[in-house]
Amino acid sequence: MAERVVYLNGQIVPESKASISIRDLGFLHGDAAFDTARTFNGKVFKLREHVDRLYQSLKFLRIDPGMPAEQMAELTGEVARRNAPLLGRNEDYWVSQRVTRGRVDDASHRATVLIECRPLPLKQRAKYFRDGVQLVTSSVRRTPPWVMSPQVKTHNYLNVVMADLEVKSQNPDAWVALLDERGNLSEGSSYNIFLVKDGVLYTPRAQMVLNGITRQTVLELASQLKIPMVEKDVDLFDASASDEMFVTTTSVCILPARNFNGVVIGNGHIPGPVTKGLMAAFSERVGMDYVGQYLAHLGE
Amino acid sequence: MAERVVYLNGQIVPESKASISIRDLGFLHGDAAFDTARTFNGKVFKLREHVDRLYQSLKFLRIDPGMPAEQMAELTGEVARRNAPLLGRNEDYWVSQRVTRGRVDDASHRATVLIECRPLPLKQRAKYFRDGVQLVTSSVRRTPPWVMSPQVKTHNYLNVVMADLEVKSQNPDAWVALLDERGNLSEGSSYNIFLVKDGVLYTPRAQMVLNGITRQTVLELASQLKIPMVEKDVDLFDASASDEMFVTTTSVCILPARNFNGVVIGNGHIPGPVTKGLMAAFSERVGMDYVGQYLAHLGE
Amino acid sequence: MAERVVYLNGQIVPESKASISIRDLGFLHGDAAFDTARTFNGKVFKLREHVDRLYQSLKFLRIDPGMPAEQMAELTGEVARRNAPLLGRNEDYWVSQRVTRGRVDDASHRATVLIECRPLPLKQRAKYFRDGVQLVTSSVRRTPPWVMSPQVKTHNYLNVVMADLEVKSQNPDAWVALLDERGNLSEGSSYNIFLVKDGVLYTPRAQMVLNGITRQTVLELASQLKIPMVEKDVDLFDASASDEMFVTTTSVCILPARNFNGVVIGNGHIPGPVTKGLMAAFSERVGMDYVGQYLAHLGE
Amino acid sequence: MAERVVYLNGQIVPESKASISIRDLGFLHGDAAFDTARTFNGKVFKLREHVDRLYQSLKFLRIDPGMPAEQMAELTGEVARRNAPLLGRNEDYWVSQRVTRGRVDDASHRATVLIECRPLPLKQRAKYFRDGVQLVTSSVRRTPPWVMSPQVKTHNYLNVVMADLEVKSQNPDAWVALLDERGNLSEGSSYNIFLVKDGVLYTPRAQMVLNGITRQTVLELASQLKIPMVEKDVDLFDASASDEMFVTTTSVCILPARNFNGVVIGNGHIPGPVTKGLMAAFSERVGMDYVGQYLAHLGE
Amino acid sequence: MAERVVYLNGQIVPESKASISIRDLGFLHGDAAFDTARTFNGKVFKLREHVDRLYQSLKFLRIDPGMPAEQMAELTGEVARRNAPLLGRNEDYWVSQRVTRGRVDDASHRATVLIECRPLPLKQRAKYFRDGVQLVTSSVRRTPPWVMSPQVKTHNYLNVVMADLEVKSQNPDAWVALLDERGNLSEGSSYNIFLVKDGVLYTPRAQMVLNGITRQTVLELASQLKIPMVEKDVDLFDASASDEMFVTTTSVCILPARNFNGVVIGNGHIPGPVTKGLMAAFSERVGMDYVGQYLAHLGE
Amino acid sequence: MAERVVYLNGQIVPESKASISIRDLGFLHGDAAFDTARTFNGKVFKLREHVDRLYQSLKFLRIDPGMPAEQMAELTGEVARRNAPLLGRNEDYWVSQRVTRGRVDDASHRATVLIECRPLPLKQRAKYFRDGVQLVTSSVRRTPPWVMSPQVKTHNYLNVVMADLEVKSQNPDAWVALLDERGNLSEGSSYNIFLVKDGVLYTPRAQMVLNGITRQTVLELASQLKIPMVEKDVDLFDASASDEMFVTTTSVCILPARNFNGVVIGNGHIPGPVTKGLMAAFSERVGMDYVGQYLAHLGE
């Protein structure tokens, strides 16, 4: 049976042959940047935007990937193409680049570069498109910019992991919403959060969150649909007063939320009209009914 | 030529055969705890204290290592013993356990357990025992407890890496001293910081730093030597007004500092009398002239 | 059938005849202080300590109760005595004084003074003495001293109410543990929180919590039992690393906790040895097996 | 002589017969929301906006008022109408709804709903329209959103009460201006604060204050009058540099300030030209010379 | 008539001939440290302690005074001696050293050194010994250590000047009490603040205030008198609950406070018993009835 | 040889005859405001804007300069005119007003008013126009508005002096960039900081910095050149991701930066295109090639 391949330090190798040294700083310190795009019908969406953001992360971390962005994008396309035949019906991939600071015992500090694909968990997440997600705030607050900018996508993710485990310990179906240092909403476990109130779209300021490519796509679509958009400090009052809420991330694109800290959002119908319009526009933008793809896996 | 061995998930294997899956959460999220002891004359110092702290870190992270602490300590001793013959003259090891949350694609969430040795960088650090270290504060502040407790020893270390790179960009020989959220001194890149003023020993409160095993040993020695000891918020004024400063960590034990942000500490003689007394007591405690071991590598 | 009486503004009246004006500032602004003692075998415990704390709260709020503390204590005793005959078997009272700033339309600003009894919810809380409580942190943080000192016992309690509703929305059986401004543990919904680690008792600094009379009693008992006691900033790491945890408040006295944010505390046996010793000493101190009183109501 | 009536839990009753249970959570914990409109010539202004804000407060507090907003508005109108004949010449009412979480001893948790009128203190405040108010900052800072959003209008008001008492202890005629957590201007004792500088209107961000209905009306009027309007962090420097300052609240509408922390604002003439224009527009908007109404009570 | 002399950059000159260059950094940036002792019966008290603190301030500021501490002390004694004959009956001096970073246009960066005397304002402050001081908190908060340590005595004093002007604008007789960053009491305009509660002496932590020489003397006297002493975060609640309060500074030594934010402290009798004991001990320590000296100027 | 003159308290005197009393509060407390314009070809640029800002600073400090702004501007022009003949070829002046609160021993509190000229350090700074500046962040954070607004230009400058000395201790050629309280970029040692990213100009919010007259001029020029401009919280991530950075201040006008914390900015070419355009527009605006003026002094 065929096996997925990955790019690792100059070579395309079968995934089962690829591994990371126990001396790699990406393992020892989480000292690495990454970025993750996804495919729609097997094609990588906004690949270059993802690679550009990766290079921004790398510059911040002072890691030299040893190749220009163009090459990273080409190699990523190559890895995706080679793995595409292994996709099942109605399936798609996460496609990630991961670049570490190299080995602790390598004086030349040559970066480790990995490009890999992983099937999306469409089946596990299908129900959320039927039911909406339950957002629950954690007592753990999101890492502030003065510790490590949340705009940099790194392998240091324990802050969010701990927040997620905390809310799941009380409700295994909860999706965590972290607050920032000042108690404003920030982001979840790799997803951005949006509110709708009186027809206006609100989302936390980019400084306090990862500025998701899907987040940016939503802002583009909102602009096309003439939905006014405001980035600002959004707090628990705003969440309570909102008509609609949704989350965005590479894998689920736009996904409506049902309640917030146990309280029904708006009138409780999901998706609300603004969310629905954005979801439809997103499907059109990516050339595929992404919601249908998820729902097709319901009951598997 | 003989090769070091490591323990990895139930087996002792040659180090070159040991590696980490690209799907391991320890790699992907730095989602792992570790602890590092060192050997003196090949024998691991305070092994059980290190293992106990490891288990505290694991409990905080909600990672089940799959074995009791006794077994972890025994296995560590075994790895150290097997690798001891490979030590050169005047050499010693770092001995580390590393436990990750396992693989992202493993529903059983079985932890990855690694135990490994690495020779201490005695040669590279010898000069600091001759010259003292230059402590320099970074603008990057240490991760506060409400983001991720610094008392937990994890693979999420970018906050300190970035601080270290910042000060080294201006002075490659600088040792970083991070401030905490409120601008007090916290810790460095895996070392604790001590001040001496009028015969009293001061060090930042345990809540804001890793409570180093060496730090604890210093507190024990200070108690034996009747040196008064205060844990409190220590700031830039205290550093400026101090008579002596030193750093402690597993590898360097107690190491004097020469200046702080470019200003000579005390009268400039290193080590100062209190530091000197503690260093001598430390050597006695570990049964070896650890300073001599470092200095023997000078000029190699 | 007989009815409980209350003291209200100079008169002892049946509870059903006592009420608060819609113009009372205690109602309009929660502009009032109160204190609540409890009876053991119908006798009020530490009445004078509670009244003294009430007068401290009133002084802070600049409310003149219109009578000296002695009189307030006497009247409280009188109300408790008159209501004692109405207690059922194995029952006891909360006994509260409540003093408001008076009416918004009363230029003379005469305080409203109420003294009342209420049966303890022994039946509802009995199971917690069997099972231990589940402590869960809320994302809502406790009011800091610079907004309104938590040491003052007032009718402004929404901060804690909101935190409690948040955690109960995910787990109706959860007992909330609020964090303070800096992410340290503070207090719960009218209870203090204690940790035991290596035989030492820890509890948050008095500045950040109500300095409960039961909390003070525990500190007295710990002193008698030679249990070392430390008031300090206690955080999520300390909770994770603790051997035992318990809560204290007027009604439940000392009550063990079973888990913290879903993680078992210590080895999971409740009450742990230190807690058990304190509970026994508390029963002795109040001259009654208060745990037995609760457990007698199990299964009612 | 006729008496005012109130609506209380389903009935219209004389005010002297209406009262609150000593077991009501609105009294015990200030656990209640309210909203207050006023009449102009006996007619309630922006009644529906006030009721909608009340329902937002109730949703935040998770209190179910037990009736739709339409009914609350109708009942309010009814109460105002019934009480209108009792108004004296040149008088008007505050008209408030107050909804509590019900009784602590009522398992059904049925909300307490009160609707009541109270004559405006026109006489007491008349002099401020002649002299302007003296704004003085308190050392007590305004409750931040992470404790309890200032956008929610509740019966927990001690934070502001304490600030007000503090400044009045030094100057009985002072109007308090609270700073927020970061030292920016927030709001006063139920009033919003505005600054004018170089023809631009500034007011603190809505997140940190109650978003007063009068505040919103001023923003509407400014828009009509083409006065540029900025919501932002406004601090002591901005106050010092301002040409004009005024406060807004339901009762006084727009009221000019004379000095700020003892320093004359602008050139000292009140009202300044921008304030004057807004006051005239406000009178036109409510169909009544509201300033004249106040001044008519001077010297009573 | 004779004139006072000062030491300025190597020379003793008449005060009227001494001045500071308009290019001096001490003038341009307040870039200077100073210290101020006082005389009792013309003799400088704790001169060496003051000079040592000056040198600590200078080290922090990285200013080289160009002479050893011994010489600075000697010169100070000399200046005091020369000016002593000019003291009137019952008069004494402030004696200050002031050292600046030198001139902005002097490449050699030679410090400016000034030593000068100034008669104490005994007459202006006499009434406070009769009446006690009124402490009032300002909305301006004290400079935190991370901006500039309050333990360093510099010519940058605007933060305190602004706080003082703020409270005096409402009450010209008020003595300002600044809060620190977290809302705790810090210090006043060059004086430390003490509270007494149940026989225990409390004062803000040294990190947040100037560690006054008089403050240190009070701690010494408290130790001799067996008065327990605690340095900790002291807040508005502690002030409200205190039995006695007093301020300390070089000029007034120990001076009782009468009220705090307009509320009488304790039972209103000044000085309270603990304060009285300390004042007596202070007089004994300095060999002079310092209170009598002040009171002798009453009515002048 | 001719000497520069200054205005001091009503008189024009030779600079060598002008000095400040050792009793002047401007010296003792840095209790003074100032403003500094510069000349281009001997003519003061934006004099009135500087004087207006001075009067804003004075109002904030509650210092009465004793003359109207018109007169201050006239006197400044007079001083500049009188000193102009002393300028060498290719030279220009800083022209400053300095107003202190007067003497501590002057009951009438008459302000000290000084107006003076100083030649620009064109020679010392010429190389920065050739090489760009190296911006380095300090661990010392900028004074926040709640301590003393950075928008007020005062003689209290130690916070910035200490930050500058800290970075220069590691790299004598570094230009300090201070962070604000929340870790965002604020300002340097009297200069503002700008970033360019994707053709948009960013600069820290005016509240956290001195709102430089040159900063304002850049905003005007950007508007003319249709360069979009955003004032917002700018952090280390933004700096890392920027294409260009530059600093602005009265003396250097617009000066490009080469690297930031040791990392090359953008592609490393200075000045970048947007900066270059603004520099050219600035030269045109002031009627002189200000860069050429600096470069002419290279190699002197």
For an interface test with D, the pick among E158, E162, E169, E235 (most D C-beta atoms closer than 10 Å) comes out as: E169
Nearest to C182 by CA among F141, F139, F235, E182: E182
Please judge whether C241 and B59 are an interchain contact, meaning their C-beta atoms are less than 8 angstroms apart: yes
Could you give the CA distance from residue B148 to residue B60 in angstroms, rounded to a whole number? 10
Question: Of A178, A202, A240, A259, which to mutate for an interface test with D (greatest number of D Cβ within 10 Å)?
Answer: A240
Domain boundary among B93, B120, B147: B120
pLDDT per position as a tens digit, C282-293: 999 999 999 999
| Residues F106 and F145 grouped into a single domain | no
- A141 shares its domain with A257: yes
Nearest CA distance, F220 vs chain E (angstrom): 30
The chains found to touch C (3+ Cβ pairs under 8 angstroms) are A, B, D, E
**Res A262: pLDDT:** 98
Write out the residue range of the structural domain in which residue A215 sits.
125-295
Q: Which of C169, C185, C186, C193 to mutate to test the interface with A (most CBs of A within 10 A)?
A: C169
Which of F28, F63, F157 has the highest number of chain E CBs within 10 A, making it the mutation to test binding with E? F28
Handedness of CA B192, B195, B200, B202 (dihedral sign): negative
Judging contacts by C-beta atoms under 8 Å, the chain E residues touching residue D170 are: 136, 167, 170-171, 174, 261-262
Q: What is the reported pLDDT for C2?
A: 86
β-bridge mates for residue D39, sequence order: D44
B190 three-state secondary structure:
coil
pLDDT value for B1: 61
To which H or E segment does residue D8 belong? strand D5-8
Using CA coordinates, name the residue in chain E closest to B234.
E207
Q: Kindly state whether residues D176 and D116 are assigned to the same domain.
A: no
Co-location of E82 and E148 in the same domain: no
For an interface test with A, the pick among D55, D62, D146 (most A C-beta atoms closer than 10 Å) comes out as D146
Looking at the structure, tell me whether residues B136 and B108 fall in a common domain: no
Q: Tell me how far CA of residue E298 lies from CA of B143, E41, E119, E123, in angstroms.
A: 57, 19, 16, 6
The pLDDT value given to residue C299? 83
pLDDT digits (tens, 9 = 90+) for D90-104: 999 999 999 999 999
In a domain, F300, yes or no: no
- With an 8 Å Cβ cutoff, is D30 touching chain C? yes
**Residue A90's pLDDT is what?**
94
Let me know: does C34 contact C54? Beta carbons within 8 Å. yes
pLDDT in tens, B185-203: 999 999 999 999 999 999 9
- Residue D1 reports pLDDT greater than 80: no
pLDDT of residue E214 exceeding 80, the answer is yes
pLDDT tens column, E86-114: 999 999 999 999 999 999 999 888 999 99
Task: Give the domain-ending residue among E120, E137, E157.
Answer: E120
Asked, for residue F16, whether it belongs to a domain, the answer is yes
CB F262 within 8 A of CB B138: no
C237 part of contact set with chain D, CB < 8 Å = no
| Average confidence (pLDDT) over A110-139 | 98
pLDDT at res. F209: 96
What residues pair up with F12 in beta bridges, in sequence order? Answer: F7
- pLDDT of residue C82 exceeding 90, the answer is yes
Do E274 and E262 touch, CB atoms closer than 8 A? no
Are F265 and F258 contacting, i.e. CB atoms less than 8 angstroms apart?
A: yes
If you measure CA to CA, which chain C residue comes closest to A261?
Answer: C166
Choosing from D120, D145, D178, the residue where a domain stops is D120
Say what the pLDDT of residue E299 is.
Answer: 82
Please indicate whether chains B and C are in contact, defined as at least 3 beta carbon pairs under 8 Å: yes
Please spell the DSSP secondary structure of D109-129, one letter per residue: -PPEEEEEEEE--HHHHHHHH
| F288 in the same domain as F197 | yes
- In this prediction, residue C107 carries a pLDDT of 86
Kindly list the residues from chain A whose CB atom is less than 8 angstroms away from the CB atom of residue B19. Answer: 19-22
Same domain, F43 and F151: no
- Asked if residue B300 belongs to a domain, the reply is no
Average pLDDT, chain A: 97
Indicate if B161 and B40 belong to the same structural domain.
no
The helix or strand, by DSSP H or E, that contains position E77, with its residue range, turns out to be helix E69-83
Q: Does F216 touch chain D (CB under 8 A)?
A: no
Across the interface, do D237 and F145 touch by the CB < 8 Å criterion? yes
Of C182, C235, C263, the CB nearest to B149: C235
List the single residue in D62, D152, D181 with the smallest CB-CB distance to A237. Answer: D152
CATH number at residue A289: 3.20.10.10
Nearest CA-CA distance, residue B216 and chain C, Å: 16
| Residue written as token pair 């009294």 | D27
CB F113, CB F94: distance < 8 Å: no
Closest partner residue to D155 (CB to CB) among C29, C61, C143 is C29
B240 and E CB contact within 8 Å: yes
Q: Whole-angstrom Cα distance, residue A101 to residue E273?
A: 67
Residues 191-210, chain C, touching A (beta carbon < 8 A): none
C136 in contact with chain A, both atoms CB, cutoff 8 A: yes
Residue F266: list chain A partners with CB under 8 A: none
How many interchain CB pairs under 8 A, D with F? 33
pLDDT of residue F1: 62
Looking at residue F300, what is its pLDDT? 80
- Of all residues in chain B, the percent with pLDDT exceeding 70 is 100
For chains C and F, having 3+ Cβ pairs within 8 Å is answered: no
pLDDT(A204) > 90: yes
Q: Do B237 and E149 touch (CB under 8 A)?
A: yes
Residue A107's pLDDT is what?
Answer: 86
Q: What is the pLDDT of residue E1?
A: 61
Distance CA A27, CA A21 (A): 8
3-state SS string for B209-253:
CCCCHHHHHHHHHHHHCCCCEEECCCCHHHHHHCCEEEEEECCCE
pLDDT at C225 over 70: yes
Domain tally for chain E? 2
Q: Does D277 touch chain A (CB under 8 A)?
A: no
The 3-state secondary structure of chain A, one letter per residue: CCCCEEEECCEEEEHHHCEEECCEHHHHCCCEEEEEEEEECCEECCHHHHHHHHHHHHHHHCCCCCCCHHHHHHHHHHHHHHHHHHCCCCCCEEEEEEEECCECCCCCCCCEEEEEEEECCHHHHHHHHHHCEEEEEEEEECCCCCCCCCCCCECCCHHHHHHHHHHHHHCCCEEEEEECCCCCECCCCCCEEEEEECCEEEECCHHHCCCCHHHHHHHHHHHHCCCCEEECCCCHHHHHHCCEEEEEECCCEEEEEEEECCEECCCCCCCCHHHHHHHHHHHHHHCCCHHHHHHCCCCC
The angle at the Cα of F265, spanning F263 to F268, to the nearest 5 degrees, equals: 105
Question: How many CB pairs lie under 8 A apart between chains B and C?
Answer: 33
- What's the average pLDDT block by block, 10 residues per block, for chain F (300 residues)? 93 97 98 98 97 98 98 98 95 98 93 98 97 98 98 98 98 98 97 98 96 97 98 98 98 98 96 98 98 94
Enumerate residues 33 to 72 of chain B having a beta carbon within 8 A of any beta carbon in chain E: none
Residue C226, class by beta-carbon neighbours within 10 Å (0-12 exposed, 13-18 middle, 19+ buried)?
A: exposed
Please indicate if any CB of chain B lies within 8 Å of the CB of F183.
yes
The answer to whether position D204 is within a domain reads yes
The sign of the CA dihedral F258, F262, F268, F274 is negative
ipTM greater than 0.85 = yes
Share of chain A above pLDDT 90, in %: 98
> How many angstroms from the chain centroid is the CA of residue A231?
19
In a domain, C113, yes or no: yes
pLDDT digits (tens, 9 = 90+) for B261-292: 999 999 999 999 999 999 999 999 999 999 99
Within-domain flag for C194 = yes
Answer whether C262 sits within 8 Å of A139, measured CB to CB.
no
> Which of left, alpha, beta for A34 (phi over 0: left; psi -120 to 50: alpha)?
beta
Contacting chains of D (3 CB pairs or more, <8 Å) are A, C, E, F
Quick one: CA dihedral C286, C289, C291, C293, positive or negative?
A: negative
Please tell me whether residues B284 and B196 are part of one structural domain.
yes
Domain check: are A45 and A184 in the same one? no
User: Is residue C206 located within the same domain as residue C266?
Assistant: yes
CATH number of the domain that D25 lies in? 3.30.470.10
What average pLDDT score do residues A270-278 get?
97
Do B and E share at least 3 CB pairs under 8 Å? yes
Cis peptide upstream of residue F271 (ω within 30 degrees of 0) = yes
User: Over the stretch C129-176, which tens digit does the pLDDT of each residue have?
Assistant: 999 999 999 999 999 999 999 999 999 999 999 999 999 999 999 999
Helix, strand, or coil here: E293? helix
Query: Which pLDDT value is given to residue C1?
Result: 61
CB contact under 8 A, A145 and F240: no
Residue E65 lies in a domain: yes
- For D142, name the nearest residue in chain C, comparing CA atoms only: C147
> How many other C-beta atoms are found inside a 10 Å radius of the C-beta of residue C284?
11
Contacts of E26 in chain F (CB under 8 A): 27
Physical contact, E and D (3 or more Cβ pairs within 8 A): yes
Residues F104 and F134 in one domain: no
Average pLDDT over chain B reads 97
Q: Is B185 on the interface with E (CB under 8 A)?
A: no
- What's the whole-number mean pLDDT along residues B113-121? 98
Predicted local confidence at residue B268, as pLDDT: 94
pLDDT of residue F239: 98
For residue D275, give the amino acid letter: T
Read off the pLDDT of residues D90-145 as tens digits, 9 standing for 90 and up. Answer: 999 999 999 999 999 998 889 999 999 999 999 999 999 999 999 999 999 999 99
- Mean pLDDT (chain D) is 97
Q: Is residue D300 part of a domain?
A: no
pTM of this structure: 0.97
| A171 has a pLDDT exceeding 80 | yes
| pLDDT, position D150 | 97
Q: Does the pLDDT value for residue A1 go beyond 80? A: no
Average pLDDT over residues A207-236: 97
The first and second tokens of residue E170, run together, are: 């409402």
pLDDT per residue as tens digits for the range C37-81 = 999 999 999 999 999 999 999 999 999 999 999 999 999 999 999
F232 close to D (CB below 8 A): no
In a mutagenesis test of the C interface, which of E179, E205, E237 is the best target, namely the one with the most C β-carbons within 10 Å?
Answer: E237
Cβ pair A236:D144 closer than 8 A:
no
Phi and psi for B4 in degrees, rounded to 5?
-65, 155
